[in-house]
Every structure is written in C-alpha cells, then in structure tokens.
Structure 1
C-alpha cells in the first residue's frame, strides 16, 4: 500500500531547482533514498513532510493531493525522526514526549520509553543527561507517540558509534510502522529497506529492490557508492576520477565523473527498465555486467 507518492516533482529554493522531475512511491517494506551530500535526499524528505511546496509536480497522500489533504490527519500519519540534537535541551524527556500526546494520554510516556528500550525513570532527566543512543531512542519514542503509519528518518544513526547503531537498527526493524530512510550508509539501507532509490544531482539515477541494486549496480554512480565502502581487513578504497567534480550542466549529470562516459552521454538519459530496475544510464547493461564481474 502506498502511503505517499511523488509524481514528477521538481523542488527548489527561491527560483533554483535542486530536485528535478522525481517520481517515486513510499510503499511497504521500507524505502531508502541513497546519495552523497547535496544529492537532494533531505529536500525531497521535506516535501514529503509537507514542509516544501513543489515548483512543479505533486505529492500524493493516499489518493489525495497533499495540498488539499487534512493536515491534522497527515501530521498524525507521517512523522519525522530527526537526529538526537533536535531535542530541546531545556525540556525534560517526559515533557518532550508528552508534547505530542493529548492531555488524557500523557500517562503513556513511560510505556513509550519502554517500547524503545529505555527505563521510564529517564523521563525526569534532560537531554544532556542521556547518551547519544538514549537521546536517539527518545526522538523515536516521540515520533511513535501519535501512532504514525510512516516514519521519515533522516540519517538517524549517523552520529552514533557502531554498537549503538546496531541497537537502533534492531529497534527500527522491529517496528510495525513503515519507513522512508534518508542515508548515505548502504549497510543501514540494506537492513531496513526493501526498495531503494539512488539520487545524484537531484535526479533518480537508479531504483529497484535494495538487495539487487547493491549486489549488481546498473548505474556507475551506484557502483561508485558501493565500492567506496571500506571492507574489514582490506585496503582503504581508492578514489577514482574527479570525485569532487560538479555535475555536468547538460546531458548525463554524472558524465564528468563516470568511467564509462561516451559521446552519447551528452544526451540526458531517461529512466528505463534494466533487469527489473529503473536506470538512467545509456550504458546500464555494461555497468551491471562490470559490477557482477567485480563482485
């Protein structure tokens, strides 16, 4: 079941578009948005939260345009999970969670803390008295307070050490709530998301089942992201090409960094089906074959 859907959405700040003509559904099993900083992931998440109005295209909430939806119901169904620093340092933990609850339901604070694996007695403390992992669990508890259908998580484990990350991921994987995960961490998206979309320079360049997409990337950029992950006991990954080059203004935006760039890449590629995935690359078949050979 689709909770939210972007239909040919272009987003920007002022008159400058930064996300271009993106269409994707947030469906069951978790959806990941993958890409480097500046790829448009957080901007797209802001549009899904109703915090940014599209320059063109539409965001659909069920069968309704988000522009015309009942926002009280929407805010209950769709909740953001920010990083732990979002907690107000002046408020006690219990008060921070209770803010989201009707007055008659504020006795549920202890129950929500237990749901995320915390001692209810922590409700009397302030954020600075908790560890980073505990604060992140509080942020999740606050989002769960209204019983949402969908959590939108923006790098929820980025500031945590690996053992705490594992506990947070276990918690998220065990929730019944659907999730949209914005991340550059491929291990996290593989754990939590059935489907993933890779963004580069504000455009979706590859979409499909997460396992297949990471096992044999059909877009050179997806492969570059995968190959940049350090492997335990191995040599650090070697950067290839102009990794900091700005996106090309015409044609394929990735062509200035792409090892497979060819004359046809001066024409912008459209998303097309390649092996059960949607890929925006003229040479996707060669990229997928090369990725399988390396794997």
Structure 2
C-alpha cells in the first residue's frame, strides 16, 4: 500500500532546481533514500512533509494531492524524526513529548518513554542532561505520540556511536509504523528498508529491493557507494573515477565521475527495467557483469 507518492516532482530553492522530474512511492516495508550530501534526499523529504512546495508535479497523500489534503489528518499520519539536536533545550523531556498531545492524553508520556526504552524519570530532565542516544529516543517518542502511519527519518543515527546506533535500529525495526529513511549509511538502510532509491544530483539512478541493490548494484554510482564502505580488517577502499568532478550538466549527470563512461553517456539515460529493478544507466548490464 502506498502512503505517499511523488509524481514527476521538480523541487528547488528560488529558481534553482535541486530535484528533477522525480517519481517514487513510499510503500510498506520501509523505503530508503540513499545518496551523498547534495543529492536531494532532504529536499525530497521536506516536500513529503509538506514543508516545500514542488516547482512542478505533485505529492500525493492517498488519493489527494497535499494541496487539497486535510492537513490536520496529514500531520498526524506523517511525522518527522529529526536528529537529536532538534529538541528545544529550554523544555523538559516530558513537556517535549507531550507537546503534540491533548491535555487529556498527557498521561501517555510515561508509556511513550517506556516504549522507546527510556526511564520515565527522565521526563523531568532537559536535553543537555541526556546522552545522545537518549535524546534520539526522545525525538522518536515525540513522533510516536500522535500515532503516525509513517515516520520520515533524516539520518537518525548519524551522530551516535556504534553501540547506541544498534539500540536505535533495534527500536525502529520493532515499531509497527512505516518509514522513509534518508541516509548515506548503507548498513542502516539494509536493516530497515525493503526497497531503496539511490539519488545522484537530484535524480533517481537506481531503485529496487534493498538486498539485491546493495549486493549487486546495477549503476556505477551505487557500486561506488557500496565499495566506499570500509571493511574491518581490510585495506582502505579505493575511489573509482574522479570523485571530485561535479555532476554533468548534460547527458548522464554521473558521467564525469564514472569509470565506465562512453560516448553514449552524453545522452541522458532513462530509468529502465534491468533484472528486477529500475536503473538509469546505458551500461547497467556491464556493471552487473563485473
């Protein structure tokens, strides 16, 4: 079942497009948005939250566009989970969690803190008195307070150490709530998302089942992201192609960095079916063969 859908959406700031003619669905089982900084992940998340209006195209919530949807229901159904620094340092934990609840339901704060694995006694503390992992759990408790259908998580574990990350991932995996996860951490998206979309320069370059996509990438950019992950006990990863090159203005946007680029890449590739996934690459079959 699709919760949110982007239909040929172009997004930008001022007159400068950042995301280009993009279409994707947020479906059951968790959806990941993967890409380096500047790829358009957070911009797309802002549009899905109704915080940024498309320059063209539509964001659909059920059978209505966000322009026509009941925003009170939408705000309840779709909740963001930002990084822990999003907490107001002046508010106590209990007040932060209860902020979105009616007065008659504020007794649920204890239940919500317990749900995310926190001692309810922490409700009287302020954010600076908590560890990074505890603050991130408070952010999740705030989002869960209104009973959302979908959580939009923007790098929810990026500032946490490895052991705390593991506890947060266990918590998110156990929640009975759909999720859109924005991350550059491939291990996190593999754990939490059934389907993933890889963004480069504001365009989807590969989409498909997360396990298949990461095990055998069909786009050179996806492969570069995977190969850049350090392995314990192994040699440091080596970059392929020109990692400093900016996206190309014409043709395939990745071609100036791609080690497999050929003359045909001067023509922009369309997303096409390649062995059970969607890939925007003229040489996808060659990538899979290597």
Q: Structure 1: which 5+ residue stretches go unaligned?
A: 291-295
Distance 2:27 2:240 in 1: 35
Tell me, what secondary structure is at the counterpart of 2:107? helix
Instruction: Report how far residue 289 of structure 1 moved.
Output: 1.3
Q: Shift of residue 242 of structure 1?
A: 1.4
Q: What's the CA shift for 1:240? A: 2.5
Runs of 4+ in 1 over 2 A off after TM superposition: none
Alpha-carbon distance, 1:241 to partner: 2.1
- 2:176 aligned partner: 176
Pairing 1:218-237 to 2, within 5 Å after superposition:
218-237=218-237
Query: Counterparts of 1:256 and 1:221 in 2: how far apart (Å)?
Result: 11
* Cα deviation 1:92-114 (Å, max 9, x = unaligned): 00000110101100010010000
Q: Distance in 2 between matches of 1:119 and 1:265?
A: 56
SS of match in other structure, 2:241: coil
What is the Cα deviation at residue 232 of structure 1? 0.7
- Aligned equivalent of 2:191: 191
Using the size of structure 2 for normalisation, the TM-score is: 1.00
Q: TM-score, normalised by structure 1?
A: 0.98
Aligned to 2:37: 37
Distance in 1 of aligned mates of 2:49 and 2:96: 20
Separation in structure 1 between the aligned mates of residue 97 and residue 69 of structure 2, nearest angstrom:
26
State how far apart, in whole Å, the 2-side matches of 1:102 and 1:244 are: 51
Distance in 1, Cα, partners of 2:247 & 2:10: 17
Deviation per residue, 1:105-156 (Å, 9 max, x gap): 0010010000000000000000000000000000000000000000000000
The count of residues paired between Structure 1 and Structure 2 equals 290
Quick one: distance in 1 between partners of 2:66 and 2:87? 27
Partner of 1:70: 70
Pairwise mapping of residues 1-295 of structure 1 onto structure 2 (< 5 A)? 1-290=1-290
| Post-superposition offset of 1:167 | 0.1
SS at match of 1:68: coil
Distance in 2 between residues matched to 1:288 and 1:185, nearest whole Å:
22
Whole-angstrom distance in 2 between the partners of 1:165 and 1:215: 22
CA distance in 1, matches of 2:137, 2:157: 10
Task: Provide Cα deviations, 1:147-203, integer angstroms capped at 9, x if missing partner.
Answer: 000000000000000000000000000000000000000000000000000000000
